[in-house]
Amino acid sequence: MRTKILLLIAVAAAIAAIFFSPILKDDHNLTIIESKDEDVEFISFEDGAVGPESITFDPNGGGPYTGVSDGRILKWEEKEHRWIEYASTSPPEFLEKCKGSKDPSKEHECGRPLGLKFSEKTGDLYIADAYHGLMVVHPGESVARVIAVEAGGIPFRFTNGVEIDQDNDIVYFTDSSTQYHRRDFMSTIISGDRTSRLMKYDPKTNQVEILLDNLSFLNGVLLSQNRSYLIFAETTNCNIFKYWLQGSKAKTIEVITELSGFPDNIKRSPRGGFWIGLHSKRTTLTKWALSFSWIRKQLLKLPSDQVLAVSSILNNIGKPALAVRLTEEGDIVEVLRGDAGKKIRHVSEIVERDGRLWFGSVVLPFLAVHHF
- The number of angstroms, rounded, from the C-alpha of 23 to the middle of its chain's C-alpha atoms is 21
Helix axes 2-19, 304-315, angle to 10 degrees: 20
The domain defined by 2-371 folds into Neuraminidase (2.120.10)
CB 91, CB 106: distance < 8 Å: no
CB 281, CB 20: distance < 8 Å: no
Residue 4: its pLDDT value, please?
A: 52
Cα distances from 211 to residues 175, 196, 200, 253, in angstroms, run 12, 11, 7, 11
Other residues' Cβ atoms within 10 Å of the Cβ of residue 92: 9
Residue 170: its pLDDT value, please?
A: 98
Q: What is the longest distance spanned by two Cα atoms in the chain? A: 58
Integer Cα distance of 164 and 247 in angstroms: 20
pLDDT one digit per residue (tens) for the chain, 372 residues: 555 544 445 444 543 443 334 444 445 466 777 777 678 899 999 888 999 999 999 999 999 999 999 999 999 999 999 999 999 999 889 989 999 999 999 999 999 999 999 999 999 999 999 999 999 999 999 999 999 999 999 999 999 999 999 999 999 999 999 999 999 998 889 889 999 999 999 999 999 999 999 999 999 999 999 999 999 999 999 999 999 999 999 999 999 999 989 999 999 999 999 999 999 888 777 777 777 788 777 878 777 776 666 666 555 655 667 999 999 999 999 999 876 447 888 999 999 999 999 999 999 999 999 987
Angle 51-56-62 from CA coordinates, rounded to 5°: 120
What are the domain boundaries of the chain? 2-371
Q: What is the DSSP string of 92-159?
A: GGGHHHHTT---GGGHHHH--EEEEEE-TTT--EEEEETTTEEEEE-TT--BPEEEESEETTEE-SSE
Residue 282: its pLDDT value, please?
A: 81
CB 133, CB 199: distance < 8 Å: no
Integer Cα distance of 240 and 315 in angstroms: 21
Report the first-to-last Cα separation within the chain, whole angstroms.
49
CB 350, CB 334: distance < 8 Å: no
Taking the model in full, what pTM does it have?
0.90
Residue 239: its pLDDT value, please?
A: 97
Nearest to 182 by CA among 215, 157, 162, 155: 157
- The number of angstroms, rounded, from the C-alpha of 200 to the middle of its chain's C-alpha atoms is 18
